[in-house]
């Protein structure tokens, strides 16, 4: 490697990485105030986001554009600015993950890295929409591999020193090659970067795809029917 143009080379590598990450990054709206981020994970319009981004808490939820119809309140904004309705395919509150289906989605899926190979100290980037700033990128390193424990469950997490803000939730944590190592979540980490590792996300998705049935209404999220009736 020739280091004479290190700064310029680095600039170029970062810009290319940011551009690549943004092509698979969406804004996820849940019909309420605020929004989260999501990643196009597989072709066919499968988008991963945080459960808490799409959580309805059993309250009345009204579609952004339609107060009186049964329009789906879940939707995404694509990198090109266009909007599309989304359908909740599955959710895993304990993992803070939700799988969405966006029909007709043309965005390419993000390259997925193997989070089990990740190392403390390696450079990572978080992509999302902190404080509403679309497609924002922030940098840091992996700080630790840890577990988020609650009464019953223990979820592996990746901690990083990347600073996150509201709107980063559900967005990707990527490595220096732009491969997704995890999904950022702000439920457990405060403003410090906590991500659900990509191998956990993969396992969640594969489980859903193997046992894929007509979407059943999740018990903790009343009204999440496939017909989009949130009432």
Partner 1 sequence: MTDEKNSLEAISDALASAVEKAGSATVSVNARRRYPASGVAFNADLILTADHVVEREEDISVTLPDGSTVKAVVAGRDPSSDLAVLRLERPAPTLAEKAAVPARVGQLVLALGRPGSEGIQASLGVVSAIGGPIRTGRGGMLEQYLRTDAIPYPGFSGGPLVNAAGQVLGINTSGLARGASLAIPAALAWGLADTLAQHGHIRRGFLGVRSQPVSIPAAQQSTLGREQESGLLLVGVESNSPAEAGGLLVGDIIVGIAGQPVGDPDELFASLSGPVVGVSTPVEVLRGGRRETIAVTIGERK
Q: What span, in angstroms and rounded, lies between the C-alpha atoms of 171 and 165?
A: 11
Residues that bind partner 1 (CB under 8 A): 1, 3, 6, 9-10, 12-14, 17, 119-123, 140-147, 159, 161, 175-177, 192
Give me the least distance between CB of 122 and partner 1, in Å please.
4
Question: CA 154, 222, 49: angle at the middle one, nearest 5?
Answer: 50
143 is catalytic: no
Q: Which of 24, 29, 52, 115 is catalytic?
A: 52
Q: CA–CA distance from 191 to each of 114, 151, 160, 165, 186 (Å)?
A: 25, 23, 10, 6, 7
> Quick one: 63 or 178, whose CB is closer to partner 1?
178
Q: Which of 160, 169, 198, 221 is catalytic?
A: 169
Burial group, residue 214, by CB count within 10 angstroms (0-12, 13-18, 19+): exposed
Residues 6 or more apart whose Cβ sits within 8 Å of residue 71: 63, 65, 85, 228
Torsion of the alpha carbons at 173, 177, 91 and 55, rounded to the nearest 10: 40
Give me the least distance between CB of 218 and partner 1, in Å please.
32
Q: What span, in angstroms and rounded, lies between the C-alpha atoms of 8 and 122?
A: 21
52 is catalytic: yes
Give me the least distance between CB of 4 and partner 1, in Å please.
11
Q: Please identify which residue in the block is written with the tokens 């990054």.
A: 25
> Quick one: 106 or 144, whose CB is closer to partner 1?
144
Hey, which residues does 90 pair with through a beta bridge?
99
Q: Which of 24, 73, 90, 96 is catalytic?
A: 96
11 is catalytic: no
Give me the least distance between CB of 103 and partner 1, in Å please.
35
Please list the active-site residues: 52, 96, 169
């Amino acid at each position: 490697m020739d280091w004479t143009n290190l700064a310029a080379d680095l600039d170029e590598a970062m810009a290319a990485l940011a551009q690549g990450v943004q092509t698979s990054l969406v804004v996820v709206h849940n019909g309420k105030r605020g929004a989260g981020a999501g990643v196009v994970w597989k072709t066919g319009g499968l988008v991963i986001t945080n459960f808490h981004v799409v959580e309805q808490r059993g309250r009345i939820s009204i579609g952004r554009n339609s107060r009186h119809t049964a329009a789906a309140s879940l939707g995404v904004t694509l990198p090109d600015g266009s909007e599309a309705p989304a359908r909740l395919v599955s959710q895993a509150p304990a993992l803070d993950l939700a799988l969405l289906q966006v029909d007709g989605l043309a965005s390419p899926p993000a390259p997925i890295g193997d989070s089990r190979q990740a190392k403390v100290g390696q450079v990572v980037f978080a992509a999302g929409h902190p404080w509403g700033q679309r497609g924002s990128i922030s940098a840091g390193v992996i700080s630790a591999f840890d577990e988020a424990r609650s009464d019953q469950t223990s979820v592996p997490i990746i901690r990083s020193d990347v600073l996150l803000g509201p709107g980063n939730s559900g967005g990707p944590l990527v490595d220096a090659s732009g491969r997704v190592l995890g999904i950022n979540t702000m439920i457990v980490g405060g403003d410090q970067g906590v991500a659900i590792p990509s191998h956990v996300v993969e396992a969640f998705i594969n489980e859903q795809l193997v046992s894929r049935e007509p979407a059943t209404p999740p018990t903790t999220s009343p009204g999440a029917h496939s017909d989009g009736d949130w009432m």
